[in-house]
Structure 1
């Protein structure tokens, strides 16, 4: 019985990993997925078929390739309501309108900060879109989530330091110093560490106990977020983070 359970768990893990291949939002063929997963094509085809049957993937009638399915939209809406993002969006829009930058809110999931909500696109975003999952070590949102959660040395050591530009922290010691600076000044900063030409300020959205359950990000081009403006933008974002915390944690 234990063996069957173990095999079932491995199959579920593989299926979820296959689903993860589609995070970029594009279409993929079975062979491409198999290559990325380092699995046999036949095995990959069975996993993809199961995901299609569940509605998590769908086959394009035009290209015959696969893409994310409609069932995920349903789960996304459920998460949207559970995290009360609809209450946060007006605050994001107000901050974005005031600064001309893009505002977002994120939560930690494993080694990444996952965006739950973002203000509407504006010219300050440029044409390079920000991903939905951002590495903790190289993103302002991730640093804010880490800095106010008191991570241990072992936790920092387990983080991958593979993503980001050459401006991002490259090891746990460097990141620990950056997190100490972040706590001291009260906000996190990503200075072209994920994408050249873009800077992001990260502010913790803290519970009454002081833990950062969410983080607020303010992202713009280096032309908009010049060094002289960054502290002012950070102060505006802090006010917004306080307002969002009051909304999210009102009944706790």
Structure 2
């Protein structure tokens, strides 16, 4: 019985994961994505609606994320004290003309916890956006400045990203060594053509080695030119220190 209950929970969470992209989905869409029977999918969707995690649209019997998730998201936002980073992100974005964000690791991905409102149209502006660890500057920074072994790199998926992204654990290990050497991760059009990102670790203010958060600076390649990278890195490091102090208060 216990095993069956765990399987049901796992299936429900997998169904909920189908809505990460922000789209409205029908029963058939979800069933096809998860390889489930329509009757099973309908039961899981109904349970998620009853819990408030999803809501059903009246027009076309489709489903979208529900209010309970927004509530939990706000709770997590306060618990991680991300609101304390907002003035620093806005200042960095206004100074550089790039977008700024704070992120943490979430399984095999990076989740954006807070982003600057400056130049939202540049993309990656929404909180909750997920990025692959291997192809994002934020992911590289989080991996490089944490206790990450080769076996863990071997287990990561490498399918996402452009043809400029690393495609296996050995390539990523070399990239992480370079990240540690220069002190920041770099995404050179590895997720989207025409855009680059710098990812800097946010070291704990108490001097601990447990890096939980990273700071991202993202912009068009013209803005993130090789000549400007040192300037952006210096500003980013200063901002990362300020954020570290703010989070420790």
**Pair 1:71 & 2:78 matched:** no
Note closer, same or farther for the CA distance 1:127–1:136 as it changes in structure 2 (3 Å cut).
closer
Query: How many angstroms apart in 2 are the aligned matches of 1:193 and 1:27?
Result: 28
Which residue of 2 is the match for residue 9 of structure 1?
6
Q: 5 Å matches for 1:26-37?
A: 26-37=23-34
Which residue of 1 is the match for residue 136 of structure 2?
139
Alignment counterpart, residue 205 of structure 1, candidates 184, 202, 206: 202
Q: TM-score, normalised by structure 1?
A: 0.94
Q: 5 Å matches for 1:10-159?
A: 10-122=7-119, 125-126=121-122, 132-159=129-156
Q: CA deviation at 1:72?
A: 0.5
Q: CA deviation at 1:235?
A: 1.0
Query: How many angstroms apart in 2 are the aligned matches of 1:60 and 1:214?
Result: 36
Q: CA deviation at 1:195?
A: 0.8
Contact preservation (8 Å) 1:137, 1:169: yes
Contact preservation (8 Å) 1:204, 1:216: yes
Aligned-partner SS, 2:222: coil
Contact preservation (8 Å) 1:144, 1:212: no
Q: CA deviation at 1:61?
A: 1.8
Cα deviation 1:157-190 (Å, max 9, x = unaligned): 0100011111111010100000000011111100
* Structure 1 unaligned regions, length at least 5: none
Query: How many angstroms apart in 2 are the aligned matches of 1:111 and 1:127?
Result: 21
How many positions carry a matched residue from both structures? 246
Which residue of 2 is the match for residue 220 of structure 1?
219
Cα deviation 1:119-162 (Å, max 9, x = unaligned): 01517x53686771111000000000000003111011010001
* Structure 2 unaligned regions, length at least 5: none
Which 4+ runs in 1 deviate beyond 2 A? 125-131
Cα deviation 1:177-215 (Å, max 9, x = unaligned): 000000111111000101111100000011222331100
Query: How many angstroms apart in 2 are the aligned matches of 1:226 and 1:69?
Result: 41
Q: TM-score, normalised by structure 2?
A: 0.95
